[in-house]
Amino acid sequence: NAGVTQTPKFRILKIGQSMTLQCTQDMNHNYMYWYRQDPGMGLKLIYYSVGAGITDKGEVPNGYNVSRSTTEDFPLRLELAAPSQTSVYFCASSPVGTANEQFFGPGTRLTVL
Amino acid sequence: AQSVTQLGSHVSVSEGALVLLRCNYSSSVPPYLFWYVQYPNQGLQLLLKYTTGATLVKGINGFEAEFKKSETSFHLTKPSAHMSDAAEYFCAVSDGGFQKLVFGTGTRLLVSP
């Protein structure tokens, strides 16, 4: 199993550009999450999904959109990139249940200039 | 709302010394508590978790943590640090359903020879 994979690993965007961060998991997990990690701030939840077709906002959703058309994929869309979106983005997945582990991808480092 | 406080953004120890990383939580309901580790340029991986039952939890790589309800703490310890333990450590508390987590700001562990 590859686990959780994310592409790209690195990306530089200009202000106002858009892009999609890809996330795929091969563990058949229903739950998936997007976080951003900023220095000294820990991880903040952007969006999460509990199954195909079902998504909901996390703590910091502004400036982002998500979709979940399949169990495996959970892309994160940035519209009109801003310098404040410079961050490292992590996708994670988890099986249904109580207090189950979240499995993390390797991250995407995004810089907006 | 649930929250986590990690005291000390950086902790330095010598190889072979005791490791103690502090975590205090705030939760309106009985919490599930987690410690995750992040090695450089990688995603997070689970070290250990507390759900119910025994308050002393053992994890991977010789780490353990004790849930103390009266102190609202879940400190992480390891009797003898190894150079390979150098990483960033995150404490997290469950936040409602769907395995959502609230993370602390992280503690970077530095291990010197």
Query: Taking CB atoms and an 8 Å limit, are A107 and B42 in contact across chains?
Result: yes
Q: Do the strands A31-38 and A87-94 form a parallel or antiparallel pair, or are they unpaired?
A: antiparallel
Query: Taking CB atoms and an 8 Å limit, are A100 and B41 in contact across chains?
Result: no
Rounded to whole angstroms, the Cα distance separating B27 from B47 reads 21
Residue of B nearest to A31 (CA): B98
- Is the pLDDT at A53 greater than 80, yes or no? yes
Query: Taking CB atoms and an 8 Å limit, are A48 and B44 in contact across chains?
Result: no
Q: Identify the band that residue A23 occupies on the pLDDT scale cut at 50, 70 and 90.
A: very high
Strand residues in chain B grouped as ranges (E): 3-5, 10-14, 19-21, 24-26, 33-38, 44-50, 56-58, 64-68, 73-78, 87-94, 101-103, 107-112
Total count of residues recorded for chain A: 113
- Spatial CA neighbour of A25 closest among A81, A100, A85, A90: A90
Q: Which pLDDT score is estimated for B31? A: 86
Q: Which pLDDT score is estimated for B53? A: 83
Judge contact between B51 and B80, C-beta under 8 A. no
- Is the pLDDT at A104 greater than 80, yes or no? yes
Q: Which pLDDT score is estimated for B101? A: 92
- Is the pLDDT at A13 greater than 90, yes or no? yes
Strand residues in A8-107 grouped as ranges (E): 10-13, 19-25, 31-38, 42-51, 54-57, 64-66, 76-78, 87-94, 103-104
Residue type, position A72, single letter: E
Q: Tell me: the pLDDT tens digits for A69-98?
A: 999 999 999 989 999 999 999 999 999 987
Chain A within 8 Å of B31 (Cβ-Cβ)? no
Q: What phi and psi, each to the nearest 5 degrees, are found at residue B62?
A: 80, 5
**Residue found under tokens 């002393």:** B56
Long-range contacts of A81-84 (CB under 8 A, 24+ apart): A81/A13, A81/A14, A81/A15, A81/A16, A81/A17, A81/A18, A81/A19, A81/A112, A82/A15, A82/A112, A83/A15, A83/A112, A83/A113, A84/A112
User: Which residues between 33 and 72 in chain A have a beta carbon less than 8 angstroms from any beta carbon of chain B?
Assistant: 33, 40-45, 48, 50, 58
Q: For chain B, what is the mean pLDDT?
A: 93
Tokens for B71?
């102190």
Q: Which residues in chain B land under pLDDT 50?
A: none
Share above pLDDT 90 across residues of chain A, in percent, rounded to a whole number: 91
Rounded to whole angstroms, the Cα distance separating A76 from A60 reads 13
Q: Which pLDDT score is estimated for A63? A: 96
* Mean pLDDT in residue range A42-48: 96
